[in-house]
Amino acid sequence: MKEMYPKKGRVILHVDMNSFYASVEMAYDSDLKGKPLAIAGNPEERRGIIVTCSYEARKFGIRTTMPLWEAKKLCPDLIIKKPNFDRYRTASAAIFDILRQYTEVVEPVSIDEGYMDITECSDLGTPLGIAESIQKRILEQLDLPCSIGVAPNKFLAKTASDMKKPMGITVLRKRDIPKILWPLEVGEMHGVGTKTADKLKSIGIDTIGGLAAANEIQLKGLLGINGLRLKERANGQDNRHVDPDSVYDFKSIGNSTTLPRDISNQHELLKVLDRLSEQVAARMKRKEAVATSISVMIRFKDRKTITRSQKLQNPVSKKEDIAAVAKTIFLKHWNGDPIRLLGITGTDLLEADKAVKQLDLFSYEQDAKKEPLINTMSQLREKYGKNIIESAGLQVKKPPTKENTGAGTSFNKDFLQDRRRSNESEKKDF
């Protein structure tokens, strides 16, 4: 069996659940199977955007991010359900529990996809046999379909898992790249978004093969270091390891909201920023993080979207501080036109206990009064460990309801952090 595994390289699987939220709802209620189903926000408000939909719904042209009203025009019989994040979180945890029964080298990258390194799993069967076993078990035990890519690195595994959906298994080797990948349009490559594809096409790079053969100096001038990285990927090169500890990483914390109507009243918009600041601050407390930059996203009535950021001298995590910076950014860049969406994101995050505050003229007196207490706490932490004393601001229990009712990145990051804590508890129990 070891002959089926490379002597020097790796064998990586990318497991990607198919239409995850819709599939979970169908597993929960079998009457939904075979019917056009969409998971979306509040149908009574304009924020009703399609989060995901079943493959039956996709046959009508319905797609992710489509407004609900447009989806209903395409398919009047479309069944619409609101997201049930507790249900999805439970299903996801069960999926990753199954994956870890094959190997501990599992890296969740979102609530519905993850990488596995099965290089040392030759005793379990061939790579293709393991992929088939995983797919079968997830379907039989959880009634959930998935696609799996089998490849020598993460990039190729991710690419392979997208090739056959639903319920596909694809093996993609480096020797397959010229025939399978290079003829594809460059925009179809994982990691190349619409804007990047447009930039590449502007210099005559239309296919993945063209990117693989592109001039490195020209690429770096156009896209910076990312251009060189994309060329490596186009040639099948990816040295990233499957890292189970990557769930520890998070680079930003943000919340956004689509307004129930277009708003141009400044007082109302500032109130929205207050609410968003409170949500971001609560999540920062839970993550024990502070932000050294704040960005504000503004989407106007005509859907034009701008994002503006401000680097901070002192890190922030409190609602009042976040709101003050966000409002300053907003008022500076808002032109008075009606707005349909607002968002606030804290970026360049630091762990709260490692953040260093730069004293300025206005905060010096206030901080000086706290210095004896801070020194005492630092000495205690150094002697007995950093968790011996925690500030009241960090003693926040996770609420039973979802703070972030959207279905995007914020929910996925929260999920990954929760999985990290769960894994640590399991290791201690063992």
Q: Are 272 and 296 in contact (CB under 8 A)?
A: no
How far is the CA of 63 from the CAs of 39, 186, 414, in angstroms? 11, 21, 25
How much is the CA Rg of the chain, to the nearest whole Å?
Answer: 24
Crossing angle, helix 20-28 and helix 85-99, to 10 degrees?
100
Contact 160, 149 (CB under 8 A): yes
Give the span between the Cα atoms of 209 and 211, in whole angstroms.
5
Provide the 10 A C-beta neighbour count for residue 118: 24
Tell me whether residue 113 is one of the annotated catalytic residues.
yes
Q: Is 16 annotated as a binding-site member? A: yes
Residues 6+ apart with CB under 8 A from 427: none
410 CB contacts (<8 Å, ≥6 apart)? 253, 254, 255, 283, 404
Query: Can you state the percent helix, strand and coil of the chain, rounding each to 5?
Result: 45, 20, 35
The Cα diameter of the chain in Å comes to 70
Strand pairing report for 169-171 and 252-263: unpaired
Structure tokens at 176: 């397959």
Closest CA to 147 of 3, 253, 13: 13
Q: Which of 39, 86, 28, 13 is nearest to 414 (CA)?
A: 86
For 430, the 3-state DSSP assignment is: coil
> Binding site annotation covers 321?
no
Catalytic-labelled residue, pool 113, 132, 232, 403: 113
Catalytically active residues, by annotation: 113
- Residues in binding site for Mg(2+): 16, 112
- Residues in binding site: 16, 112
